[in-house]
Structure 1
Amino acid sequence: MNGPKGGEVLMENLDTTAQRDGMYRRGSIPAEQVYDPLTGLPGRKAAFAMLARAISLARSCGRGVLAALVDMDRFYVINETKGTAFGDEALRQMAGRLCELSHWSASAYRLSGNTFLLFRIYKLEAASEEAEMLIKELQHSVADLLPVRGQLLFPYCSIGVSSYPADGDTAERIMRHADTALQQAKAAGGNQVAIYTEEDAAQLHRTEELRTLLRSAPADNELMLYYQPVYEAEGRLRGFEALLRWQHPQLGLILPAEFIPLAEQGGQIVEIGEWVIREVCGMWGRVRDKGHMDLIVSVNLSPLQLAANDFVEALQRILIETSMPAECLEIEITESILIDSGKRIYNVLEQLREMGIRIALDDFGVGYASLTYLRRLPLHTLKIDRSFVQHIGEQHAETAIVRSMIALVHELGFQVVAEGVESAEQLALLKQWGCDCYQGYLLGKPMKEEAIGALPVTLESV
């Protein structure tokens, strides 16, 4: 769509009509009810009014309206780790970027917090093609690096899309359905687009149900830990990765990808994370008493847990109370922490290293970590993501990437753990390339603590 066409002419008419009717006149409606003081964008009331007007105009001339909610994922982490002033500037930068989109509404709207609305009148006879083009333009725009206070921020964004007349005939219904799609995008891991369907509404109902039930899960003893063994190249048991699971009496087994984001949003993640560390340290002592000596146990931490004011002190207290040596505990962090976190997280990681605790970078290769970030972090171990490991020996690209990753990580002075090892061929290639440790179903599935006693300290076949 180069140059003004039907939808653009209608959007121009929409803006002119709104101005003629005084919708944005600061004298007719208090300014704080129309314009967002932080970004200068029209706010929630203006968004609903203009969307309703767009639907009315589209109805009168046989057109449709595409609406998109854009939400900056895990924005609370940015505020927690970099400060609210940094977060405010990130919102201003995102607002400016959304207003520059050529094929959407003349203005973006800030609904609340880190959520924005855009909409567009479009031709129903070319609805599929036009919607695809609009969504791609929006997706590409929000994916680009944001310059914020001399730094470059990766703006992970979820986008929820709904349309008139397919998903409703009022602004309220279109907005509600776009929000349902947005929540679906977030529940699927975030940083992606979801288009509203009836199935989305059912999934959102489950999400809200889980959010409520999670509040009582720790007290009801529904959380549990499984332990997946990690072996060294020579076949000796290095230790375990602790994997959190939620076993609900009616809903069954619920995996972390579904409930950890809810725990972060609801403020429960620090409590749950401390419970995990205490359980892991207690397990270490119990299996040591059964003959498994000096094993390293890995625990995945949320950036919000690392950013908690008393995290280091609480961790020190748990280690003393359980008599677990610090060097036997390994903290796993993800690449997103490298990009989104401020100096506080780096300082915390330095403190942990000084205590003797090991630091591992999980899922290496799937994020945006650069060598600069890797050199700055006090790391001991990098874990190559299973998505790379599963195709080595089958696809030339993955084979070359993993081999190069191992060499690079060793050059940086870190240990390498390969995740998702499921075949003897994969294991043989990894050993040939000098990989230090291995984790996957070939070597052992996640197990409850009571099964660890029967686990061999050395695998003869490795």
Structure 2
Amino acid sequence: MTAQNALSGARRILVTTALLPILSAEALAEPLRVGVYHNPPKLMLNDQQPGGILGDLLLAMADREGWQLEVHPCSWQACLAALEAGELDLLPDVAWTTTRAEVLAFHREPVLHSWSQVYQRPGLSLDAVVDLDGRRLAVLEGSIQSEFLHQLTDSFGVTPTLLEVSSFEEGFAAVRRGQADAAVANRHYGDWQASAQGLEVTPIMFQPAGLFYAAPAGEGEALLARIDHYLELWKPDARSPYHQALAGWNVRSDDRFHVPPLLWWGLSGLLLLLALSAGTSLLLRRRVRARTAQYQEAQAHSHRLAHYSPVTGLPNRGRLLAQLQQILAAQQRPESRGKPGALLLLNLDRFKLINDLHSHEQGDRLLLRVAEALEQRLAESGFLAHLGSDEFAILIEDLDGPMAAAAHRVERLAEALLDAVSALPPCQGTPRTTASIGMTLFADGQPDAGSLIQQVDLALTRAKAAGGATLRFFSEEIQSEVVERVRMEQALQQALAHHELTLHYQPQMDANGHCIGVEGLLRWQHPQRGMVPPVAFIPLAEQTRLILPIGHWVLRSACKLLADWAGTAKARLRVAVNVSAVQFHEPDFVARLEALLEETGAPAERLTLEVTESLLLEDPERVRGTLTELRALGIRLALDDFGTGYSSLSYLKRLPLDELKIDRSFVMGVPDDAADTAIVETILTLAASLGLEVIAEGVESAEQRDWLASRGCRLFQGYHFHRPAPLESLEITAG
């Protein structure tokens, strides 16, 4: 049933034990479908059983009645929607409101009484509502708490900054991290966790409510009557399961409302303030009465209709646009530059057929299942909205890497979403449910929200035109790049096994023209594409972590070459290889390299590992520790592309390095470019003061070599001496 039909066709039902029969195990022939959402300590999932106070109580009742519980984990909104649709028989921990009483059935005796309370970080003095002005408050997104808080603060003319969070845990964590000054939670969760998480309770309280078990309207009367029976039986008995459940979660047995001592101090301060400004106080009281009368439950209902889908409970198109505009604004800040975002539009294929063959109610049930499936696949990686009918949108922000890499990640996510939809059981007499997705990427706040909506709509049209059950990017260029990247990744996975990867070697020369060693450079000889340049496949190998087996093969090849040279005229030559940051940060990198040296018998002092400056910025102390371990094995260490990064000189002198390699981008400018000559001279001076050797890369002329030699450089590498080539084509003689 749709939410609109439920609202118009149901009346409030209160069940008393005097009017209904006892519910026995025989009467409850089917398992009792119970929704469980995460709201500790009142309700949670505990080893596939209901847990928390209301969960423990339900288990105790089920044990005595012989009920079989069929647990359905779900989010709060999904649980509530499923209960209204009759897909659940019972939902614990539901606050009674007049609106809910029109579409749900409640028992008579409340399980607990609760209220919302504000919990502050230590050092603040939030004693009254007026103290919230300008403060940052973490509040549960889309909750009744949020709506009541809006009314309360607006009535007093104060304007806090509300930080919407998905759970009370997240709200308390935001206060601990300094992202919020205080958090709003129900008093049960606050009493349970505030002290443990270092937050202080304030006297600011609002939204009193009774908590019940709820059933679909017109159903479960006998079930609710039995619940009332046990509550009335157990509450007066201090040794009953009711009080045992409260004690087990450190909740006071006196669950009726009381005024904490701290609240009296807050009220006293507020009364003093009101006494000093009587006229203002009178005006505030009038505003409170007027606004309370205007908004009771009408404002809460209209807010939900304005911002959330009545079918799935997900944010609607308006919320999506607001979130999208917020992300676009954030992308224009310096710290968010270059971090792409993505917008996806998902539409079910042949959804009209389901409505035509069955009913709109069946269609709504399918939409709810689709929403739950998408939520489970997304977890916390995106913002999910239901735009109406069978159309859903997913908004993702802060994707790492270049645009092509971001597009590849979004494509994989979209494929997972399509799989989640197609895995749903089909409606009887209809084909398997499939979906189509249109996608677009955006960065640096461009384009605007309206243009992005048009882009994904056009991309979705292309996906539908391709037959459905597929996805398309708005940009044909990005679509082509993604396809090419997938093909390249698949080919790279086979390259090592098919012996398509090779090492070319480039000699390293001294000032007298003698070879002192070689650098091994990775090459890919593709059977169709020919020689693939390293810049086209090494970044992909790093992003997919294929660099790990490839890098290990390179190290093995270098060690084997050194072992082959041992005992020959080339025994004094070095072999240098580059080490990827991904490979370097593997926990067993040093151990595996040590095993290679032992296996091949290669002399460690002839092996040079080259690392880049960017590596030094990632966890510097850990990097220093790994370099020290490598140095202890006797391995030489070189800092590649020196001068292009941002490493600290004070940190550089603490590293166990043997040599610096001047990047070719500086060497190519000497001796004519004044800036390049100044940089190279500075590097040579720095290296001399640190006792490091220097190799100049990219030397392409005798003029460059002579200039470098005149400034104290003694080692060179570049086309002037030899291009990289297979080992068998090099004539290498040791100097």
The answer to whether the superposition gives a TM-score over 0.5 is yes
Amino acid at match of 2:564: R
Amino acid at match of 2:732: L
Amino acid at match of 1:310: D
Choose which of 630, 641, 656 in structure 2 pairs with 1:352.
Answer: 630
Task: Tell me, yes or no, if structure 1 residue 434 matches structure 2 residue 712.
Answer: yes
CA displacement 1:41-74 (0-9 Å, x = unmatched): 9xxx879865646899xxxxxxx9997786779x
Task: Tell me, yes or no, if structure 1 residue 242 matches structure 2 residue 242.
Answer: no
Task: Tell me, yes or no, if structure 1 residue 163 matches structure 2 residue 447.
Answer: yes
Aligned to 2:617, the other structure's residue is in SS state helix
How many Å separate the matches in 2 of 1:174 and 1:53?
21
How many Å separate the matches in 1 of 2:324 and 2:531?
43
Give the match for residue 252 of structure 1. Answer: 530
Task: Tell me, yes or no, if structure 1 residue 207 matches structure 2 residue 492.
Answer: no
Whether contact under 8 Å (1:359, 1:378) holds in the other structure is yes
State the TM-score, normalizing by the size of structure 1. Answer: 0.62
Amino acid at match of 1:25: G
- Residue range with higher mean Cα deviation, 393-402 or 355-364: 393-402
How many Å separate the matches in 2 of 1:46 and 1:366?
46
CA displacement 1:368-390 (0-9 Å, x = unmatched): 01211211211000000000000
Compared with structure 1, are the counterparts of its residues 65 and 413 closer, same or farther at alpha carbon in structure 2 (3 Å cutoff)? closer
Compared with structure 1, are the counterparts of its residues 337 and 65 closer, same or farther at alpha carbon in structure 2 (3 Å cutoff)? closer
Report matched runs for 1:379-390 at 5 Å.
379-390=657-668
Report matched runs for 1:313-462 at 5 Å.
313-452=591-730, 454-457=731-734
Report matched runs for 1:39-438 at 5 Å.
50=319, 52=321, 111=397, 162-164=446-448, 169-170=453-454, 172=456, 198-287=476-565, 291-438=569-716
How many Å separate the matches in 2 of 1:36 and 1:251?
51
Whether contact under 8 Å (2:562, 2:603) holds in the other structure is no
Task: Report the alpha carbon displacement of residue 362 of structure 1 after superposing the two structures with TM.
Answer: 0.3
Amino acid at match of 1:373: Y
How many Å separate the matches in 2 of 1:301 and 1:377?
16
Task: Report the alpha carbon displacement of residue 32 of structure 1 after superposing the two structures with TM.
Answer: 3.0
State the TM-score, normalizing by the size of structure 2. Answer: 0.40
Give the match for residue 166 of structure 2. Answer: 32
The structure having more radius of gyration, on CA atoms, is 2
Amino acid at match of 1:32: S
Task: Report the alpha carbon displacement of residue 213 of structure 1 after superposing the two structures with TM.
Answer: 2.2
Aligned to 1:163, the other structure's residue is in SS state coil
CA displacement 1:217-253 (0-9 Å, x = unmatched): 2112121111111111222111111111222212332
Amino acid at match of 2:447: S
CA displacement 1:279-331 (0-9 Å, x = unmatched): 11112333557632221111111122122222112111111222210000001
CA displacement 1:342-391 (0-9 Å, x = unmatched): 43322111011111100000000001012112112110000000000001
Compared with structure 1, are the counterparts of its residues 401 and 267 closer, same or farther at alpha carbon in structure 2 (3 Å cutoff)? closer
Whether contact under 8 Å (2:660, 2:692) holds in the other structure is yes
Task: Report the alpha carbon displacement of residue 263 of structure 1 after superposing the two structures with TM.
Answer: 2.2
How many Å separate the matches in 2 of 1:47 and 1:35?
25
Compared with structure 1, are the counterparts of its residues 161 and 281 closer, same or farther at alpha carbon in structure 2 (3 Å cutoff)? farther
Amino acid at match of 1:233: A
CA displacement 1:64-114 (0-9 Å, x = unmatched): 9997786779xxxxxxxxxxxxxxxxxxxxxxxxxxxxxxxxxxx974776
Compared with structure 1, are the counterparts of its residues 163 and 66 closer, same or farther at alpha carbon in structure 2 (3 Å cutoff)? farther
Compared with structure 1, are the counterparts of its residues 159 and 423 closer, same or farther at alpha carbon in structure 2 (3 Å cutoff)? farther
Whether contact under 8 Å (2:664, 2:699) holds in the other structure is yes
Aligned to 1:393, the other structure's residue is in SS state coil
Whether contact under 8 Å (1:162, 1:174) holds in the other structure is no
> Over the residues paired in the alignment, what is the CA RMSD in angstroms?
4.0
- Residue range with higher mean Cα deviation, 229-238 or 289-298: 289-298
How many Å separate the matches in 1 of 2:674 and 2:459?
46
Task: Report the alpha carbon displacement of residue 162 of structure 1 after superposing the two structures with TM.
Answer: 4.8
Task: Report the alpha carbon displacement of residue 167 of structure 1 after superposing the two structures with TM.
Answer: 6.7
Whether contact under 8 Å (1:52, 1:170) holds in the other structure is no
Compared with structure 1, are the counterparts of its residues 402 and 166 closer, same or farther at alpha carbon in structure 2 (3 Å cutoff)? farther
CA displacement 1:169-197 (0-9 Å, x = unmatched): 44746999xxxxxxxxxxxxxxxxxxx96
Identity %: 36
Whether contact under 8 Å (1:54, 1:65) holds in the other structure is no
Aligned length: 331
Task: Answer 1 or 2: higher relative contact order, Cα 8 Å, separation at least 6.
Answer: 1
Compared with structure 1, are the counterparts of its residues 242 and 266 closer, same or farther at alpha carbon in structure 2 (3 Å cutoff)? same
How many Å separate the matches in 2 of 1:34 and 1:167?
36
Task: Report the alpha carbon displacement of residue 436 of structure 1 after superposing the two structures with TM.
Answer: 2.1
How many Å separate the matches in 2 of 1:47 and 1:36?
23
Task: Report the alpha carbon displacement of residue 439 of structure 1 after superposing the two structures with TM.
Answer: 0.5
Compared with structure 1, are the counterparts of its residues 423 and 270 closer, same or farther at alpha carbon in structure 2 (3 Å cutoff)? same
CA displacement 1:93-147 (0-9 Å, x = unmatched): xxxxxxxxxxxxxxxx9747769xxxxxxxxxxxxxxxxxxxxxxxxxxxxxxxx
Task: Report the alpha carbon displacement of residue 168 of structure 1 after superposing the two structures with TM.
Answer: 5.2
Aligned to 1:215, the other structure's residue is in SS state helix
Give the match for residue 295 of structure 2. Answer: none
Whether contact under 8 Å (2:329, 2:445) holds in the other structure is no
- Residue range with higher mean Cα deviation, 390-399 or 377-386: 390-399
Amino acid at match of 1:378: P
Task: Report the alpha carbon displacement of residue 265 of structure 1 after superposing the two structures with TM.
Answer: 2.4
How many Å separate the matches in 2 of 1:31 and 1:54?
14
Compared with structure 1, are the counterparts of its residues 407 and 215 closer, same or farther at alpha carbon in structure 2 (3 Å cutoff)? same
Task: Report the alpha carbon displacement of residue 339 of structure 1 after superposing the two structures with TM.
Answer: 1.2
Task: Report the alpha carbon displacement of residue 201 of structure 1 after superposing the two structures with TM.
Answer: 3.7
Task: Report the alpha carbon displacement of residue 269 of structure 1 after superposing the two structures with TM.
Answer: 2.1
Q: Which runs of 5+ in 2 are unaligned?
A: 1-139, 147-163, 181-313, 341-394, 402-441, 461-473
Compared with structure 1, are the counterparts of its residues 220 and 400 closer, same or farther at alpha carbon in structure 2 (3 Å cutoff)? same
Whether contact under 8 Å (1:282, 1:322) holds in the other structure is yes
How many Å separate the matches in 1 of 2:621 and 2:451?
45
Task: Report the alpha carbon displacement of residue 401 of structure 1 after superposing the two structures with TM.
Answer: 1.6
Aligned to 2:447, the other structure's residue is in SS state strand
How many Å separate the matches in 1 of 2:444 and 2:526?
29
Whether contact under 8 Å (1:66, 1:163) holds in the other structure is no
Whether contact under 8 Å (1:296, 1:329) holds in the other structure is yes
Compared with structure 1, are the counterparts of its residues 324 and 112 closer, same or farther at alpha carbon in structure 2 (3 Å cutoff)? same
How many Å separate the matches in 2 of 1:425 and 1:50?
65
Aligned to 2:576, the other structure's residue is in SS state strand
Give the match for residue 98 of structure 2. Answer: none
Q: Which runs of 5+ in 1 are unaligned?
A: 1-22, 57-63, 74-108, 116-157, 177-195
